[in-house]
Every structure is written in C-alpha cells, then in structure tokens.
Amino acid sequence: MRKTLLSIIFSITLLQLVAQDNSYNLMPVPKSIQRHADYCAVNKQFTIGIVGHPGNRVYQEATRALRRLDNRMGFFFKQGNLNNKDSSHNATLLIEVKRPAILNLQEDESYRLQTSARQVKITAATDLGAIRGLETLQQLLSVHQDGYYFPGVVIDDEPRFPWRGLLLDITLHWMPMDVVKRTLDAMASVKLNVFHLHLTEDQMFGIESKVYPRLTTVGAEGNFYTQDAIKEIIAYADQRGIRIVPEFDVPGHCTAMLKAYPHLASVPREYELQRYYGVFDPALDVTKPSTYTFLDSLFTEMAALFPDEYFHIGGDENTGKDWDRNPAIKAYMQQKGMTTYRELETEFISRLLPILKKNGKKMMGWDEILRPGVPHDIMIQSWRGTESLVEAAKQGYTGLLSTGYYIDLIQPTDFHYLTDPVPANTPLTKSQQQFIVGGEATMWTEHVTPETVDSRIWPRTAAIAERLWSPQSVTNVEDMYQRLEKIDLYLEGLGTTQLKNKGMLMRRLANGYNTHALEVLVDVIEPLKIYERNEGDTMYTVFSPYTKIADVATPDQKVARLFRNNVSRYCKAKDPKMVPGLKNQMELWKNNDTAFRALIRQSPVLQEAENLSANLAQIATIGLEALQYIVAKKSPPKDWKANCLQITKQAKEQGGRCELQVVTAIEELVETASLFKVFH
Amino acid sequence: MRKTLLSIIFSITLLQLVAQDNSYNLMPVPKSIQRHADYCAVNKQFTIGIVGHPGNRVYQEATRALRRLDNRMGFFFKQGNLNNKDSSHNATLLIEVKRPAILNLQEDESYRLQTSARQVKITAATDLGAIRGLETLQQLLSVHQDGYYFPGVVIDDEPRFPWRGLLLDITLHWMPMDVVKRTLDAMASVKLNVFHLHLTEDQMFGIESKVYPRLTTVGAEGNFYTQDAIKEIIAYADQRGIRIVPEFDVPGHCTAMLKAYPHLASVPREYELQRYYGVFDPALDVTKPSTYTFLDSLFTEMAALFPDEYFHIGGDENTGKDWDRNPAIKAYMQQKGMTTYRELETEFISRLLPILKKNGKKMMGWDEILRPGVPHDIMIQSWRGTESLVEAAKQGYTGLLSTGYYIDLIQPTDFHYLTDPVPANTPLTKSQQQFIVGGEATMWTEHVTPETVDSRIWPRTAAIAERLWSPQSVTNVEDMYQRLEKIDLYLEGLGTTQLKNKGMLMRRLANGYNTHALEVLVDVIEPLKIYERNEGDTMYTVFSPYTKIADVATPDQKVARLFRNNVSRYCKAKDPKMVPGLKNQMELWKNNDTAFRALIRQSPVLQEAENLSANLAQIATIGLEALQYIVAKKSPPKDWKANCLQITKQAKEQGGRCELQVVTAIEELVETASLFKVFH
C-alpha cells in the first residue's frame, strides 16, 4: 500500500537519472554507438585536458561541463576555470579539437567519443562537435557498485539536419532573461542549435532600438531586452553552440510599432497595444518611401547587433484589410497594376531584400514570403503545411519545417516525434531533399507565463530534437517516452522548471500544502488543444490569470497515457495480472471526488473543475463495472452500454478549459464488456 | 494510515493560505486591528479606484495588486493597467493618497485599512503607506462558504522602525536578476524597505563602471550588473517602496579591484580573484593620493547611479597586514604619528567623507567606521554585537542592528525573532533610543547558490520583518511559527523558490523521482551552524558543488522542531494520547535506514550522509525503548542509560556537513525513562 500510494502521489515509478548498466538513455540517440567492457571510473581526481586548436568556446564549455559533473557527483574537483594551460594528455577527459567553429548552417558538428579504462576521449573537427560530445558525455554518466563511471563505448555522431531550432515568442507573454538562459541550457543538452526569438508583435515591441527609442518607450510597457541583454543572450548561446535568429514581424503583427511611430501605418488611428490575442488588421503602409527609410535604419541597427546570417522578417498573416481601407494604397496598387494585396506584399519583400543584403543578411520568413521572383538564398519557415515546404524545395528554395512542431498546441509528443521534415515517403528527389535543412519547434506564448512555459517546452522538445538530430529510422514511440521521462528529470537538474513548478502551481491553486486530490485530477486532464482554449479569441487578454487548473495541467499526462495503453492491452489479451492495477487506479478516481469537493470549499478558484472531478468519478464507476463484467465474463444488463456511453459522452465536455484524457479508455472497457452480450 | 503517510511525505499538516474565518495570519502583525462583522465579498466585478494626489508608484502597485488578486482567485478582472482615469469612488477597493512619497528614512509609511460590506478603503498620507496597506490586503484575503472576501476590519498601522533591511551579497556567489526581483517582491510583501546590495569583494567586482571598465572586464568573470541592470533593480524596488543601498567595500575585501587596478594595492603582487572564502590581507594603499583620485571618480559615478542618500563603504575586516608589509605606508604612519593601522583607517574614513558629501551622500559602514571625530550623520551597521550599537547611540550616532540577523548562519528563526534592536532592557534613554533606526538581515552567499538562497532567506526573514515593523510586545514564538508556515506558502505563490526547489534538489540528489527516504532524513537534519560548515575556511571554494545534502537541508526543520516540542510536552505531562504519534515518528526513522542505503547505491553522492541515517535509526530505536519504559512505568536495566547516552553522543557527529536535530529529544526520553530507576 505504501508503495502504491507513493507511486500514485508522485505519479511516477522509480526511475534513475544517471544511467545504470547498459541503458544509456541518450536523447537524441547518436548515429552510431558501439559498446565494450572498458568503462572509465570517475572519482575526485577527475580532470579535463584540451588539446589541438580549440577556441574560447571549448574552454568555457569544458569548465561548465566540469562544474555540472561535480554538481551531480559532489567530489569537489580541484580544477578551476579551464584555459590553455589545461592541456594534459593524461587528463581523465581529453578533448581534441582541430579548430574553433563558425556558427552557421554549414558548420561541422560531428564528434567521436571513446571510453577506455583510463580515459574518455572526445575528438572533433570543431569545438562545436566537441561540445555536442560533452553533452553526450553528461548523459552517459552511470552508476554501479563501485560508484560513478562512464561506460565503455565508441560513439560516432553527427546530426541529420543542420537547423534544429526552437522559437520562443517573448511578446504575447514577456519572457525574462532567466527563462531564456535555462531554455538555452536545456536546448544545448539535447543538441538543438538555433534559438529563434520572436521579438515584435501587436502586443509589444520586445527589443531596444537606440535609433528608434519610442519602439520600447511607447511600444512596450517596461519589459523588453536592452541591447546589453541581447548581447548577453548571444554570448550565452554562442558558448553553447546555438545560433540566435531574431524575428522582426512585418508588414502585419506590428501594432506596437505603429503605436510608437504612427506615420508608418496604413490607416490613421489611435493605436494602442493589443490586449487580445489573434490576427489584427494594422499593417505598415508599404507604399510610402518613409516606411523603407525607417525599416532600413532599424534593420541596419539590428543586423549589426545579431551576428547570424539569417534575419527573420515574419511576413505572416497580414489581413490586407487596412491596405484596403487606404485610398492612396489602393491607387498605388492600381497604378502598378496590382489586383490583390499579395502582389503588394511581393513588392514589399523584394524591397526589403536589398536592405538585408547590404547588411550581409539572408532573408528568412514564414511561408508567405515565398513569392514569384524572390532570390534563392532566402529561408522559408513552413507553418502552413508540409506541402508548401515540398513546393519550395522543388523550386530550389531552402526551407525548414515548423508545421507539426507547434508545441504550444498541447498535442501529444509522439505526434511531434513522428513528424519528419523529410519523411520516408517524400515526393522529393535526393537532391531536392537537400533544400530542407531541418525544423523548428515553436513556443507561442499566448497561454503561458514564465511560470508555466517550461511545462510546454520540456521535456517534449527533446523528442523533436531527436527527430532532427538522429537517424530517420529512430521512431520507437514507447522507447522515446521511456527515455523522455528520464530526460525530464535530467533537464530539471539543469534548471528547467516543468517539474518543480507543478508542485508550486498546485499548492497555490489548492490554497494549501495538501494537493493530493488536485493532483489525482490534474494527472488525467490536459488543456484544450490546438486553438480551442481561447474561444473566439476573446476569452483571454494579456491581463488574464494564467494560474488556473488549465495552467497546471500539461500535455502528455503520463498517468492518462499509461492507463489508455494498459486498457488497450488488457482489452486485447485480458491478462488477469493487469486487473488489480486497473482497479486500484479507477477506485482512486472514483473516491477522489469527495476530497476534491472539500478542496473547492477551501479554494473556490477550483470551482470550474467541479464537473471534471464529478465526471471522472462517474466514468471510473462505469469502468469498474465494466471490469467486473469482463473478469466475470458476464454480460451486462440491457441498456447498460447505452447508459454508459451517455455518461462518457458527457464526460468529454470541458471544464476549466481542460478535458479528461481517459474517457476513450473507459469507453473501450465498456465496449469490451458489452461483447459478452452474445453469451447472455 | 493514508493520512499519516501523506502528512509524513509532505512533512506538513493541512494548512490554508487564504485565511479562513478570523485567523488572518498577518505577518508582520499590524499596530492595531479591530474586527467587525461587515466583510466585503470579492467577485469578478472587483475594481480599484485611486483618489487624492497619488504618484505613478501607486498606479503601478495597484495594478500589480489587481493582477496578484486575480491570479489567486481566477476571476478575469476587466480592469487593465491603472491610471488617473481609474478614480471611481465606488470601486470595490478605494485607495486615497495625499501625496507621493520620497523614499528616505523619514518618510511616512502609515496607513488605515477599513472594510465595509461594499468597499475596502485604504487611506494613507503617502503612496508608500498605501502600498504597505495593499500588502496587508493581500494577506487578508479569506474564504468562506460564499467564496472570497475581505474580513471586516479597521487596521491602523505604521512601522516601529524606519530601517527594515535585507542585505544580499552577490559576490561570494553570483545572484542574477531573477533572484533579485523575487527577493524584492517577497520583501515588499512583509514590508521590508531597504535592500542592501553587497557589490564588491575579494572574489569579484559585481557592478559595471564606465569610468573604470577593468573592474568588471578583469575583476569579474562574466557575471556582474550592468548599469542598465542596476537602473532596472532601482526602479523595481522603488515601485515597491524599497530603498537600494549599495555597498562598495574598502579598504579591505577588495582583491577584485586590485586585480583590475594593481596600482591601488598596498603590496605589489600578481593579484588573482580569491577562490576561497574568508578574510584576506589585500588592501588599498590609502596613503597614496592616486587612490583617492580613483575612489573619487568611482564613487562619484556610483553616487549618480544610486539615488539613495546612504552610501555604504564597508570598512570591515581589514587585517592591516598588507599595510605592515609596505615600508612606504609604515613611513607615512610614522610621519603622521600613527601607531596602529586603526588610526590609518580613521584617516581613510575622514578622507572619504568629503567625497561622499559633495555627491550628496551620507556614509554608511560596518562598526569599524565609528572612529573618534567622524561626523554624526554617518550610519553604523552593527555586526559585532549590540554593545557597539548602544555605544554609538550614547555618542549620538545613528545605527542599525545586524548582529542576531545573520540568516546565513542557520540559527533558528526564534533566535532572530527575539533579537530586538532596542530590547525592553536597553540601557539607552528614550532619546538615545531614537538613534537606533532598525535592523538588517544579512544574506552572505558563501554557501548558497541561486538554487538554494531562497531557502535561507525565506520564510525566516519574514519573522525579522515582523520584529522590525510590529510592536515590541509581539513576541509569541509558537504563534510566529504557525503564521510563518502560512507565509512560507504565500511567499511561494509570489515567486520565491524555497519550497519548490526542495523537491528539485532532492530529485537530483536521489538521482530519481522517488525521494522518500531522503526526505525523511533531510527533515531532521540541518547544515552545520555559525561558521562550522567551512572547516578552517579551506573546504569550500567558489567552484565547489552546492548540490549536496547540506544544501537540501534547511534551517528550522519543522519535523525536528515539533518532535522536540512534543517530546518535552510528553515528558512533562505523560499524556498517553501523545504516544502513538511519537511512536509512529520514531518507527519511521528506525525503518528508513534500509531505504536510504538503497538510495546511496543508486546515488553515491549520498554516501556522506550514511552515518546520519544509521545514527537516526539507532537513536530512534533507543527512543522507542525509552517510550516503552515510560508507558509501562518500568525501570530500564542497569547500564541502559549509559549505553544510550553513548549512542546519542555519537549521533551528534556531523555527516555531509549536517547534524541531526532530534538527538536532544531522544536524550530527554532516555532521561525521563531513567527516572523510573528508583522504583526498580
């Protein structure tokens, strides 16, 4: 009972973070791994030596690796900050690097990691490869009867795709520096290499311009990155081998710019920062020369700040309505023989290209920027479907996939995991496939705050990272989920908050320390998916509380997923050994409602989940009945099935912007029980 | 059993954060509170109106109060960011302010908070008083059968002392912006009003100087506050009515300065940043005019950055040895007729005074700056004992107490709570007492990181805040601990990490999700106190891991404290109803060792606590025996007591830099059992 209770309370089984024996739990899985018997023990004499022609990056990352290992093993290593004096070939960990890397799309990230009884050796053409190898090493750390060790392996590794990104939107909810840094740490640990900052929006302008200071004094409300902060982010990312791609969204999604500089607008209006979320009409007047003067100065300033060769100009979701409302714009279009606003957008894109080019930048944008006549060195980020990416590649345009990687939409991790930028059945030829450089997970932040954002990004983005790094053949979903659970804990050790904030959010929501009844419910609910949560785009504003049950609930609820899997297995094979587990689980749900109602009285904010809790109890009751019939191989009474399915149908209704995730499993039990009808 | 287990697992009993009925759990306790029946219900129509002559601060804080309330109750309030249009006298919460405050030692912080059935009204002479009242209001939020409400009260409140501070050292371990901001949020919530930043040390120089950039390019290793960051901190604190007092420690504790600008040093040396913790010899050469030129420029730059009238120059712990080592300094002293280095320090202080004065600043420093002839407008921060503070007050010097508020030393909260800057038995006259303006908790950061610092500051500093705000007569320790447990949860809701990081630290340390055995042990151990942890000042360096069992262990372990209290109560009155509780507790400890040993095999970093766990099991076994004898009123065998005390003596030994906190209670049980000897 004690064990059962514990595992229920923590909703997890005993798991170990440092690998034991030969189960290394690497994520992403390397390209090639050979095992041998000569493990390398780790004790307090552990040292790192660096040889070859390394740059500063590898000294910094090796220092960080040393401290991370010490934080896990607690040995008080003697080595301080590493520098070129730390070049002993006899070090426990020897890093050999041929040259410092240049962070770009073409750079070599390969490495070899070899263990022997007296040394671990990482060899790489570039320091970038070496630091990828250091992350693999962290994940390899293991425990056996004599203590810590690195198992005997030869790993040869390199990425499948060169662009493995995460977009973080910092405009729909502001994300301060600590979120950025811990996100970069976690990205590096799963070998992601592009951090895409969505910096400007209708709701705010998120980065200081010294040329146009009103962009933040008027276009923001205190929260934005200063240029010093941006430099800090770039340096932090660079050390970890991560490129920063900034996005300045034009010609739509720009209300904050228009509030600051109304002369840029298509329609004269009192511009205020948007408080709701969605797609709005305000757009730059792209027919006026002064707009290009402005963008030229702004982009020139920002191009100098961001070293990456790609510069993202957004380009998405301009409604065209404000252009329609301006007679001068309509006259301009007529004069140029343009019949749709898409043609005007095409002209806009073509006029931005030389501005970026003279600043040494390549243009990147969402699908919309792919227009007839645009040069081939742009980068298309596909958000509207793989078709547009395939179409682009056929035309010789470089692109990357974001469709299928929208991690804000609360879809299950296996859905993202099995989305491949170049699937096995791609219609593209081998040479066309080269135009698809990878993918990017996108974390839009309408419905997250710094308190909850990690729970949407992690651990699931690690599975996307594996898709983009590991061989195409690595697709075992169950294995992925098992490793993901370990990576979850590993990432927490690095600083991400998805696990620890769950407890905090529940204590606040329960208005007390005892959160048991809340946790039992939360473990089987997920927030409404895709774009359902914000009904009609009018429920939520930037001022809304994001501290409610839908914010504690996460995607990929493990208790629910395992229950669904177990029910399916049981309904197929009817293994009697599975009955007690299913029964205990459903009894827990059935009995939880009383405790949950008591919690509501103590914390009325939970009222909105009353129906979820009641429904859970009801379907658990049905599930227990179904289980009894199945075990007894007895047919249920007439109408039982219909009544049950009436109840499960009702249990699919939302409460607190969440849905129960175990209804289909209960229905499966009901259906299975009802099959005995023939023997009645 | 389930309930028992739960309460053991969470180590807490059911507690509610929002006050129920009439137990308001305010901390600090207000000066005067009258209760009446007319409570004010809160629903989604809740609004705030601001009238009188408020400044920007009250609009910002009222906006923050609105969002905080909504985050707790989840109503989706319609009001956005408040401004001077939000002046309805019919608002649910009406704030009436006579004038904006000036943040200084003399400012009025008083307020009145009155509830009626239709409105809560906060009236204050200054916006500072109003925002103190807003914090009281947050703590008043209550729940009854009809939902959320503010209870019927008339509160008249003002602080006992005008200086209620917290020192945060950011040099021994770097503390990034997120630590600073959540600390300021928490400080404001318990009405602390001075944030003292210890910015420079032997280990690093923590703030950007544009005049002397090498102070951070050479004197720091990447971590320091830019001037933009400092402005952000000042603005953030100002909004919350908190003054920022910066400390630039001279003439000692300045190795980082000397590494950057070696010409300032008393001894020519290769200066490197100190890696160990302690007191070191490097000191400014205070005999050279160039040193004053340097300090004049630096302090003038920094004085312009920090608006507060006080400027802390440290002045502590100069060993004088480096002055001794320099013949020129000795010659200078001889020429001036100085026989001790204290006299040279006195001259140094007197030469700094005009630099500060011309920049409009008053000097603040540690005890050491109180020297014959210094003017009376300096501020003495007492760290060496209350005597020096009393002595200063007698001489007409203003001072504040830090002795007794060193929260880094892991002493129990009640010790800090009962330390009074002006105790009832003070030898000072009424008018002399006026020179003592308050106190400051000090968070030195040798042995904490951003992950653990909150667990040393909170909730305990709330008790110090109460000492400094509330009437002298508020001294009930048990009542304080009960409210403190609720404040702990309340502060977590505001963003502090002491509760949620405990789980994270334990999961990392246990190398898995199941931390039960570790938690049972951690709940009864505390890190070595005072300065014992860092034996000989040579165990720890700035590179040491702070992720071990001593870092998960916190001061004020509640399970241990309650056990000690319960044992004392039981040994006095021998209430049989207490026996099962004591027995269950000791059985848990006795049986935990097996599970803890299994955990060590999974996570060898826990090895260092093996003896603690074994000792806990052993003394629990003895305690259970003692309890049996007491219950049976039977005398134990000859030698039993001596054997037991041998074991408890051994159990006082440290393990993992921690000590068991229940040994004295077991000894009390043994002693009590041994009293039956006479009846043998």
DSSP for A368-393, please give it: GG--TT--TT-EEEE-S-HHHHHHHH
Residue recorded with tokens 């096995």? A424
Chain B contact for A558 (CB, 8 A cutoff): no
pLDDT at B18: 56
C-beta atoms of B81 and A221 within 8 A: yes
DSSP H helices, A35-176, are: 56-73, 127-140
Q: Which chain B residue is nearest to residue A180, measuring alpha carbons?
A: B178
H or E stretch covering B237:
helix B227-239
Q: Which residues are bridge partners to A16 per DSSP? A: B512
C-beta atoms of B275 and A80 within 8 A: yes
pLDDT at A660: 98
Residue recorded with tokens 């590096």? A188
pLDDT at A678: 54
Chain A residues in contact with B504 by the CB 8 A cut-off are: 492-493, 499-500
Identity of the residue in A2, A226, A493 whose CB atom sits nearest the CB atom of B508: A493
Identity of the residue in B20, B71, B514 whose CB atom sits nearest the CB atom of A10: B514
Interface test with A, best of B149, B208, B520, B543 (most A CBs within 10 A): B543
Identity of the residue in A221, A503, A511 whose CB atom sits nearest the CB atom of B16: A511
The answer to whether the CB of B346 falls within 8 A of the CB of B290 is: no
Backbone conformation region of residue B182, classed left if phi is above 0, alpha if psi is from -120 to 50, else beta? alpha
pLDDT digits (tens, 9 = 90+) for A79-91: 999 999 999 999 9
Strand locations in A117-258 (E): 120-126, 142-144, 147-150, 153-157, 163-169, 194-198, 243-250
C-beta atoms of A492 and B504 within 8 A: yes
| Separation in Å, CA A172 to CA A206, A291, A450, B25 | 10, 25, 11, 36
Chain B contact for A17 (CB, 8 A cutoff): yes
Chain B residues in contact with A9 by the CB 8 A cut-off are: 6, 9
Chain B nearest C-alpha distance from A298 (Å): 21
Structure tokens belonging to residue B454: 């909150």
Which of these is catalytic: A232, A301, A317, A587? Answer: A317
C-beta atoms of B226 and A221 within 8 A: no
Structure tokens belonging to residue B439: 């106190």
Residue recorded with tokens 């160039």? B290
DSSP H helices, A470-576, are: 477-494, 500-510, 516-522, 549-552, 558-573
In angstroms, the CA B601 to CA B220 distance is 40
Return the HEC string of A480-511: HHHHHHHHHHHHHHHCCCCCHHHHHHHHHHHC
pLDDT at A614: 98
In angstroms, the CA B62 to CA A404 distance is 42
Mean pLDDT computed over A431-453: 98
Identity of the residue in A228, A541, A545 whose CB atom sits nearest the CB atom of B228: A228
**Cα three-residue angle A275-A280-A283, rounded to 5 degrees:** 115
C-beta atoms of B143 and A602 within 8 A: yes
Which residues numbered 207-226 in B keep a CB inside 8 Å of some CB on A? 221, 226
In angstroms, the CA B585 to CA B624 distance is 10
B360: three-class secondary structure by DSSP: coil
Chain A contact for B15 (CB, 8 A cutoff): yes
Identity of the residue in A1, A76, A511 whose CB atom sits nearest the CB atom of B17: A511
pLDDT digits (tens, 9 = 90+) for A350-399: 999 999 999 999 999 999 899 888 889 899 999 888 888 999 999 999 99
Chain A contact for B77 (CB, 8 A cutoff): yes
C-beta atoms of A608 and B74 within 8 A: yes
Residue recorded with tokens 């400390």? B247
Q: Which chain A residue is nearest to residue B7, measuring alpha carbons?
A: A514
Chain A nearest C-alpha distance from B70 (Å): 6
Name residues of chain B where pLDDT drops below 50.
1-16, 20-22, 679-680
Work out the end-to-end distance of chain B between its first and last CA atoms, rounded to an integer number of angstroms.
37
C-beta atoms of A74 and B489 within 8 A: no
Chain B residues in contact with A603 by the CB 8 A cut-off are: 18, 143
Q: Which chain B residue is nearest to residue A73, measuring alpha carbons?
A: B605
pLDDT at A24: 81
H or E stretch covering B316:
none
pLDDT digits (tens, 9 = 90+) for A569-581: 999 999 999 999 9
In angstroms, the CA A447 to CA B182 distance is 22
Q: Which residues are bridge partners to B142 per DSSP? A: B19, B149
**A340 has a pLDDT exceeding 90:** yes
What angle, rounded to 10 degrees, do the helices at A460-469 and A477-494 form?
110
Chain A contact for B3 (CB, 8 A cutoff): no
Chain A contact for B147 (CB, 8 A cutoff): yes
pLDDT at A7: 39
**Catalytic positions of B, please?**
317
Exposed, middle or buried by CB within 10 Å (0-12, 13-18, 19+), for B552? buried
Strand locations in B357-414 (E): 362-366, 379-382, 398-401
pLDDT digits (tens, 9 = 90+) for A182-241: 999 999 999 999 999 999 999 999 999 999 999 999 999 999 999 999 999 999 999 999
Written as one string, the DSSP assignment of B412-474 is -HHHHHT--SS-TT-SS-HHHHTTEEEEEEEE--TT--TTTHHHHHTTHHHHHHHHHHS-TT-
In angstroms, the CA A350 to CA A313 distance is 12
In angstroms, the CA B57 to CA B144 distance is 33
In angstroms, the CA A253 to CA A351 distance is 19
**A10 has a pLDDT exceeding 60:** no
Chain B residues in contact with A512 by the CB 8 A cut-off are: 14-17, 489
Chain B contact for A544 (CB, 8 A cutoff): yes
C-beta atoms of A545 and B147 within 8 A: no
C-beta atoms of B1 and A1 within 8 A: yes
Classify strands A147-150 and A142-144 as parallel, antiparallel or unpaired. Answer: antiparallel
Identity of the residue in A228, A507, A516 whose CB atom sits nearest the CB atom of B492: A507
Chain B residues in contact with A20 by the CB 8 A cut-off are: 602
**A21 has a pLDDT exceeding 50:** no
Chain A contact for B138 (CB, 8 A cutoff): no
pLDDT at A15: 46
b (16+ CB within 10 A) / e for B242-254: bbbbbbbbbbbbb
**A18 has a pLDDT exceeding 60:** no
> Which ipTM value was assigned to this complex?
0.94
H or E stretch covering A288:
none
Chain A contact for B604 (CB, 8 A cutoff): yes
Mean pLDDT computed over A287-299: 98
Q: Which chain B residue is nearest to residue A549, measuring alpha carbons?
A: B74
Identity of the residue in A147, A508, A516 whose CB atom sits nearest the CB atom of B604: A147
